[in-house]
A and B are shown apart, each in its own frame.
Chain A
Amino acid sequence: MEVLGQVWDFFATSMMRGGMYSLMAVGLALVFGVMNIANFAHGEFYMLGAFFGYFILSATSKLGLPAFLPPIICIAGAGLCVALVAGIIERTSFRALRKRSKGQWLMNTFLLTLGISIILQNGSRIVWGGRYRGVTRMWKGDFLNSLLDYSLPPDRLIAFLIAVLSIGGFVLFLNKTTTGRAIRAVSQDEVGASLVGINLGFIHTLVFSLSGLLAGIAGASLLSVTPASSFMGTMPLYKSWFVLILVGMGSIGGSIVGGLILGFLETFATTYLSVYLGSGSSEFVCLAVIITILLIKPNGIFGKSVKSAVE
């Protein structure tokens, strides 16, 4: 039973981490694939999601609703708020840059998002202060523990389920709806898409908001694992870029698999290798893996060419 518990623990932690990395990486890949923006403010959407989630959760839990409702409202509300913020950012900055930019669009967006990230980090710090805001448990009730006969915190498992549901819903949206098809069309050919009457400005804002939505959901649903603070976004940003480089830029299907790979890799390194390598082991292992992969396949595991984005 002991060994089984360890194996189960290993898998559960890997899946939870991997699911969240996928959720973050998918939004990043979407923005990269459709808008050709290297978004380094993606981690700040995660951070905003955690903050909004915390405030919504603390407001709704006082209302006396049934126990399962506040977390749902919290995660959905946080996602929507972050999507709104992302939409405003797209309208005010990227639109202006798009009008003026002559060359080097990708590098300019990289620097622009860095500026946005600095503003969001320090602005949130000014507004909300340096205190960590987290909850010990998001989902009340022990139904899962009795079900699985193992004392795993339900928050992690539910976080994984939320990641699966969000990504599933997102992929369905992209493949089955007219708007989703329009997004894919823009990612393939902007000029062609605008010729058949797709409103490019709307699609750009929508895509940026969607990536914000996914990151916000990730931030809010992990509130009990990583408490909200202004500078928390660097790690998720780092991980999601890692996934993108690992699997090849802009591939959505690849990002989902890549997130899970990274989750397993990290959990493996921290569980089994930290004895030999010290507490920074997961970083070394990840770096070694990515350098090896880039030496063998410079475009990433699934990478074909960069411009075949949202397929």
Chain B
Amino acid sequence: MSSHAMESNDLTKATDPPANPPSIRPPVRGAAGDPALDSYSKAIGTLGFSPIGLLATLMGLVFLLTMVKDESWVRILTSAIMYGALAMAFDFTSGYIGIVNFGFAAFMGLGAYVTGCLSFHLGWSPWAGLVPATLAAAILGLLLGLMTIRLGGIFAACMTWFVAMAMLSVSSNWVTMTRGATGLSFPLLLKSADNFPYLVIMVALALFSYVALSLLVRTKAGLAFQAIGQDQEAAAISGIDSNYYKVLNFTISCAFAGFIGWFYAHYVGVLTPPVLHTKATVEIMVISYIGGRGSLWGGLLAALIIVPSMEYVKSIQALSDIMELRLLLYGLLMILVMIYYPGGLSELLKTIFNKLGLHKWISAAK
């Protein structure tokens, strides 16, 4: 984070020259050591934003809330931000403690089904389902975490996947509860048919998720997450109870999945088992990894770029029949990013800003 620049000034300069040479440059505005900027960025940093991040967020908000009028664009952007929020919650686990939750969509689907069943069978209001949906996903995440997270690595990925497959099977076979493939339909969040309020709500949820997650990353627990993700054995030697922190992290991430699932359920109004399918997990994963590991905002940015451009591909007349092309592009992007630029979009932006000598602008100060 902000200590990055200081370290590179004295300690790592000899071994790592091209990374950050700020001490050579004169103190320009926006570069390291500018006291005015430091106090600003500290104030912003308490909310988890970097200066440039806040600027981009505000500009994005103004654009979203004033310029976007077209109904279809409103829907596309809503789903893009939803994917972005899911990718952030996914990244909270995969980017920080290095565990891939390969059943992520099932946790989102669980939240969605809990609120859906509550309003379908018991007639609860859509808003009342928020807490049960989040709690259900969190509790399942806690149980699964307690059982499998200590295994680590590919074991944990497979176990979350197996549980997700079992949940998919439950949702398609327990017809009295979930109505199976026919679909469970229930009231929407709002009475009006207008799409725009949903966009506003989704933006608020995404902002809340981002601020909450990035503040969590800045706590002592967040430090422990990063330590575990970088080197679990070294973390254990420094006295970090890695199982405790991993389960904690996993539970939080699942809770956010359920939280977004609640919105999804009442935004779409119909639930069918494919919501929980591995394909949905893969889409979230691709967005999160293209966004960059361990950045949180990378996933949101990637979703805002990828989802609308996929919609554009779909809208091209000649290609409109080939739905699979969209997924094929996802796969290709994934492979290219994995091989040639594993840091993803956030790493790319960080490199560009570092080259410009603006590294203070892109890291949130403590």
- A291-B147 contact in complex given A241-B161, A280-B172, C-beta closer than 8 Å: yes
CA distance A121 to B163 in the complex (A): 23
User: What are 17 A-B pairs with beta-carbon distances under 8 A?
Assistant: A38-B157, A104-B98, A107-B153, A114-B282, A115-B335, A115-B338, A119-B331, A119-B332, A119-B335, A121-B324, A126-B325, A242-B162, A244-B158, A291-B159, A294-B147, A294-B155, A298-B155
User: Which residues of B have CB within 8 Å of A242?
Assistant: 158, 162
Complex interface: chain B residues within 8 A of A104 (CB): 98
Q: Is the CB of B324 within 8 A of A122?
A: yes
**Cβ 8 A contact of A107, one of B100, B150, B159, B325:** B100
Let me know if A118 and B151 touch, CB within 8 A: no
Q: In the complex, which residues of chain A have a beta carbon less than 8 angstroms from the beta carbon of B286? A: 115, 118
Per a CB cutoff under 8 Å, which of B159, B325, B334 touches A294?
B159
Once bound together, how far apart are the Cα atoms of A110 and B148, in whole Å? 18
- Closest Cβ of chain B: how far from A60's Cβ, in Å? 29
Q: What residue of chain A has the Cβ atom nearest to residue B338's Cβ?
A: A112
Given contacts A278-B174, A280-B172, contact A294 B327 (CB under 8 A): no
Contacting pair A118 B282 (CB below 8 A):
yes
Interface centre among A38, A106, A107, A291, by most chain B C-beta atoms within 10 angstroms, is A107
Given A111-B289, A121-B324, A294-B147, 14 further pairs, Cβ under 8 A: A110-B100, A114-B331, A114-B334, A116-B335, A118-B328, A126-B328, A238-B161, A241-B161, A280-B166, A280-B169, A283-B169, A287-B162, A291-B147, A294-B159
**CB atoms of A238 and B165 under 8 A apart:** yes
Q: Is A153 interfacial (CB-CB < 8 Å)? A: no
Interface residue ranges of A74-122 to B (CB < 8 Å):
93, 96-97, 100-101, 104, 106-108, 110-112, 114-119, 121-122
Measured between alpha carbons, how far is A269 from B150 in the docked complex, in Å?
29
Interface check B181, CB cutoff 8 A: no
Q: Does A148 reach chain B (CB closer than 8 Å)? A: no
Assess whether A295 is interfacial by the CB under 8 Å rule: yes
Q: Give bound CA distance, A286 to B100, whole Å.
A: 22
Among residues of A, the one whose C-beta sits closest to the C-beta of B154 is A38
Chain A contacts for B339, CB-based, 8 A: 93, 96-97, 100, 112
The answer to whether the Cβ of A290 comes within 8 Å of any Cβ in the partner chain is yes
| Tally of B interface residues using CB under 8 Å | 42
Question: Does B112 sit within 8 A of A, measured CB to CB?
Answer: no
Is B173 a contact partner of A245 (Cβ separation < 8 A)? no
- Known pairs A110-B154, A118-B334, A119-B335; A280 contacts B173 (CB<8 A): yes
Does A287 lie within 8 Å of B153, measured CB to CB? no
- Contact of A110 with B157 in the complex, beta carbons under 8 Å: yes
Q: How far is the CA of A249 from the CA of B158 in the complex (A)?
A: 12
Q: Per a CB cutoff under 8 Å, which of B147, B172, B327, B340 touches A118?
A: B327
A278 to B159, CA, bound (A): 22
Residues of B within 8 A of A287 (CB): 162-163, 166
Q: How far is the CA of A245 from the CA of B158 in the complex (A)?
A: 8
The reply to whether B155 and A126 contact each other, CB–CB distance below 8 Å, is no
A123 interface residue (CB < 8 Å to B): yes
B330 on the A face (CB < 8 A): yes
Cβ of A234 < 8 Å from any Cβ of B?
Answer: yes
- How far is it, in angstroms, between the C-alpha of A295 and the C-alpha of B150 when the chains are bound? 10
Distance A238 CA – B160 CA, assembled complex (angstroms): 12
A residues adjacent to B (C-beta < 8 A)? 38, 93, 96-97, 100-101, 104, 106-108, 110-112, 114-119, 121-123, 125-126, 234, 238, 241-242, 244-245, 249, 278-280, 283-284, 286-287, 290-291, 294-295, 298
A-facing residues in B308-366 (Cβ within 8 Å): 322, 324-325, 327-328, 330-335, 338-340, 342
Task: Indicate which residue in B155, B163, B331, B335 contacts A245 across the interface (CB closer than 8 Å).
Answer: B155
Say whether B302 faces chain A, with CB atoms less than 8 Å apart. no
**Binary interface profile of B, 4-24, with partner A (CB < 8 Å = 1, else 0)?**
000000000000000000000
Closest-CB distance, A228 to chain B (whole angstroms): 16
Residues of B within 8 A of A118 (CB): 282, 286, 327-328, 330-331, 334
Is the pair A245, B328 in contact by a Cβ cutoff of 8 Å? Answer: no
Say how far B68's CB is from chain A's closest CB, in angstroms. Answer: 30
Is B81 part of the binding interface, using a Cβ–Cβ cutoff of 8 Å?
Answer: no
Tell me, in angstroms, the Cα distance from A114 to B158 when the chains sit together: 13
The reply on B170 being an interface residue by CB < 8 A is yes
Does B300 have its Cβ within 8 Å of any Cβ on chain A?
no
B225 to chain A, nearest CB (A): 16
Q: Give A274 to B305 CA distance when docked, in angstroms.
A: 46
Judge whether A126 and B173 touch: CB under 8 Å.
no
Q: Is the CB of A115 within 8 A of B334?
A: yes
- Which partner residue on chain A sits nearest B229 by CB separation? A104
Given the contacts A118-B282, A280-B170, A100 and B331 also touching, CB distance less than 8 Å: no
The residue that A234 contacts in the complex, of B278, B328, B335, B338, with Cβ under 8 A, is B278
Chain B residues lying within 8 Å of A117, measured Cβ to Cβ, are 331
Task: State whether A294 touches B98 (Cβ < 8 A).
Answer: no
Contacts of A280 in B (CB 8 A): 166, 169-170, 172-173
Docked complex Cα distance between A112 and B333 (Å): 10
Kindly state whether residue B285 has any CB partner on chain A within 8 Å: yes
Inter-chain CA distance A121–B47, complex, in Å, is 43
For B153, the chain A residues whose CB sits under 8 A away are 106-107
CB-defined contacts of B174 to chain A, threshold 8 Å: 278
Residues of the B chain whose Cβ atoms lie less than 8 Å from the Cβ of A115: 286, 330-335, 338
CA distance A145 to B153 in the complex (A): 48
Which residues from A are CB-within-8-Å of B173?
278-280
What distance in Å separates the Cβ of A168 from its nearest Cβ neighbour in chain B? Answer: 28
| Alpha-carbon separation in the docked complex, A108 to B98 (Å) | 11
Across the interface, A119 reaches (CB within 8 A) one of B98, B148, B328, namely B328
Residues of chain B contacted by A108 (CB below 8 angstroms): 338, 342
Q: How far is the CA of A291 from the CA of B156 in the complex (A)?
A: 12
The answer on a CB contact under 8 Å between A249 and B285 is: no
Chain A residues whose C-beta falls within 8 Å of the C-beta of B154 in the assembled complex: 38, 106-107, 110, 249
Q: In the complex, what distance in Å separates the CA atom of A280 from the CA atom of B166?
A: 8
A122 touching B327, Cβ below 8 Å: yes
Which residues from chain B contact A298 at a C-beta distance below 8 Å? 150-151, 155
